Amino acid sequence: MKRLFPFAALLLLVGCDSQPGTWGWYVIDPTTKAGWTNVQFLMRGFTSTIQVSMLAAVASIMIGLFVALPSLSPSRWVRLPNRIYVEFVRSIPLLPMLFWVFYGLPVVLKSVGINLNIDPFWGAVITLAISDSAFTAEIFRSGIQSVPHGQSEASQTIGLTKSQAMRYVILPQAVRRILPPLANQFIYIVKMSAFASVIGMQELTRRANELVVTEYRPLEIYSLLILEYLVLVLIISAAVRWLERRMGANER
Amino acid sequence: MTAAVRLTELDKWFGEFQVLKKVSIEVSPGEKLVICGPSGSGKSTVVRCIANLEPYEGGALDVLGGEPGAAGRGEVGMVFQQFNLFPHLTVLDNLTLGPIRALGLSRREAEDKAHALLERVKIPDQAAKKPGQLSGGQQQRVAIARALCMEPKVMLFDEPTSALDPEMIAEVLDVMEELAAEGMTMICVTHEMGFAKRVADRIAFMDAGELIEVGTPEQVFTAPKSSRFADFLDKILSH
């Protein structure tokens, strides 16, 4: 409690600055009709933030695993595409990539004869998935490499092929080990989905921005926005911990 | 009768270092060969080459009538020093994975076979546990059962009791002795000289990558030909 006190005092001071002496909580006060309408407007952003994040995370894990597999080869030439992809993709900042996918990718596709209009939703999913996949690929690589070599040797001596050993012996153990860093990446995706607001996707941040423009109460609205992300991330953390307990039970 | 395993002047290098120097030996079907020697002598490497876990650079290696990799799936069974059980699977699933995926058995057939083998290695009631819940001796017996599930024609043992606490060594050796009595072809790297005396048809001694001496237990224990073997026996028998 003692530690919370300076923080609370700071919030009050900031409140003083925007409007002497008072916070303007009325804009998001759910007990009034206008406030409740505003809160509902903000909360409706949860749907698209969650949808974009889930789709991007699933795609990122699939791309990441696909990209990670060649990195396990003893041959340098097989590993090369993996290195190039990882180094290239993880060097691109999210915002420029978002612009490139949203404004540039349709032009590129059109030049090769594909007429595809990318809306803000899919633009965000594609960008987040690709951007994150470079990190997921590295996580998979380290996870797979952390499984002792004896496991593949034992798989070989009981007649499993390399891909069977990967599927039934190595990957299940690797996934248990990389669950915490994968959860980190999922939280990262949820937070980075806020960038999708700049290409006009109606997610949490975009809605907060729009409400700020009409109500002009940035402090209160953005405070609520931060709380919305906090709730999302806490739910993810709890879910991952539950999953870890379930998967790790009785393992060693 | 053709040999189950035949090494002809086998050479192997780890980079610049030659681990096997013209090693030649034949193991007939049903024979039990024990390989011993100081650490770094190349005895584990011989067994790993036969199991197709290591490539070799010179000479010839014939396993069940072909190259090491050409044997049928699971026909060359291997038991490791560190057990190498699959920690995320139950004991039963450890045993059935190979028969189901590599031999195409149905789950039911595989499980019947697995239960019968767990009975044989004297741990019938541990099928539902994870390997981490078992003692070292129990884990190694599960590992033996896992290899036997594939109906191997040759069983290789790479220091199967070296990672075990002393009181658990006997239970593993007992299972191995029963297996030997049933006529299994076995190549066993071990320092358990009591076991070697009781079970081995021949004992091979390796040092610094060379096969120094091969003989029956009576021969080598009473009158080893080479002084290096005599020294080695002296050290491990007198401690």
What ipTM was estimated for this complex?
A: 0.92
CB contact under 8 A, A252 and B102: no
Provide the 10 A C-beta neighbour count for residue B175. 21
Buried b (16+ CB within 10 A) or exposed e, A63-79: bbbebbbbbbeeeeeee
**In sequence order, what are the residues at sequence separation of 6 or more whose Cβ sits closer than 8 angstroms to the Cβ of residue A133?**
A59, A60, A63, A64, A67, A89
pLDDT at A16 (0 to 100):
47
How many beta-carbon contacts under 8 Å exist across A and B? 71
Burial zone of A10 (CB within 10 Å; 0-12 exposed, 13-18 middle, 19+ buried): exposed
How many residues are given for chain B? 239
In DSSP terms, which residues pair with A57 in a beta bridge? Answer: none
Residue A170 is given by DSSP the state I
**Cβ atoms of residues A66 and A129 within 8 Å:** no
What value does the mean pLDDT take over residues B100-109? 95
Residue B200's Cβ-count burial label (10 Å; 0-12, 13-18, 19+) is: buried
Tens of pLDDT, residue by residue over A188-226, are 999 999 999 999 999 999 999 999 999 899 999 999 999
Best to test chain B binding among A146, A156, A157 (most B CBs inside 10 Å): A157
Q: Which residue of A has its CA nearest to B131?
A: A252
Tell me the nearest-neighbour CA distance from B230 into chain A, angstroms.
34
Asked whether the predicted pLDDT for residue B65 surpasses 50, the reply is yes
Taking any CB pair shorter than 8 Å as contact, residues of chain B touching chain A are: 51-53, 72-74, 76-78, 80, 82, 84-88, 97-98, 101-103, 129-130, 132-133, 143, 146-147, 149-150
Alpha-carbon gap, residue B146 to B142, rounded angstroms: 6
- For residue B79, the cross-strand partners are B157
Which residues of chain B have a CB within 8 Å of the CB of A153?
53, 78, 80, 84
* Residue A151 with chain B: CB contacts under 8 Å: 84, 86
**Among chain A residues, CA nearest to B98:** A158
Q: What share of chain A is helix, strand, coil (3-state, %, to 5)?
A: 80, 0, 20
Cβ–Cβ < 8 Å for A216, A191: no
Name the minimum distance, in Å, from the CA of B52 to any CA of chain A.
8
Q: Which amino acid is at B88?
A: H
Task: Name the interface residues of A facing B (CB cutoff 8 Å).
Answer: 148, 150-151, 153-154, 156-161, 164, 168-169, 172-173, 176, 250-252
Q: From the candidates B45, B84, B85, B91, which should be mutated to test the interface with A, based on the most A CB atoms within 10 A?
A: B84
Mean pLDDT of A241-251: 75
Give the pLDDT of residue A244: 86
Chain B: give the shortest CA distance to residue A133, in Å.
26
Per cent of chain A over pLDDT 90 is: 74
pLDDT > 60? residue A1: no
Residue B4: pLDDT band with limits 50, 70, 90: very high
Q: Label residue B174 by pLDDT band (50, 70, 90).
A: very high
Q: Running DSSP on this structure, what letter comes out for residue A194?
A: G
**pLDDT mean over B41-51:** 95
Question: Which residues in chain B are closer than 8 Å to A175, comparing Cβ atoms?
Answer: none
Number of Cβ within a 10 Å radius of residue B64:
21
Backbone angles phi, psi at B19, to 5 degrees: -90, -30
If DSSP states are collapsed to H, E and C, what string results for chain B? CCCCEEEEEEEEEECCEEEEEEEEEEECCCCEEEEECCCCCCHHHHHHHHCCCCCCCEEEEEECCECHHHCCCCCEEEECCCCCCCCCCCHHHHHHHHHHHCCCCCHHHHHHHHHHHHHHCCCHHHCCCCHHHCCHHHHHHHHHHHHHCCCCCEEEEECCCCCCCHHHHHHHHHHHHHHHHCCCEEEEECCCHHHHHHHCCEEEEEECCEEEEEECHHHHHHCCCCHHHHHHHHHHHHC
pTM of the shown model: 0.83
Distance CA A232, CA A43 (A): 12
pLDDT in tens, A123-142: 999 999 999 999 999 999 99
Q: Which two three-digit tokens encode residue B49? A: 């080459």
Cβ atoms within 10 Å of A149's Cβ, excluding its own: 10
Give residue A59's identity as a one-letter amino acid code: A
Q: How many other β-carbons are positioned within 10 Å of the β-carbon of residue B195?
A: 23
Do B47 and B189 meet the contact criterion of CB atoms below 8 Å apart?
Answer: yes
What is the distance between the alpha carbons of residues B139 and A33, in angstroms, rounded to a whole number? 67
Q: Do B146 and A168 touch (CB under 8 A)?
A: no
Name the 3-class secondary structure at A14: helix
pLDDT digits 0-9 by tens, A92-107: 999 999 999 999 999 9
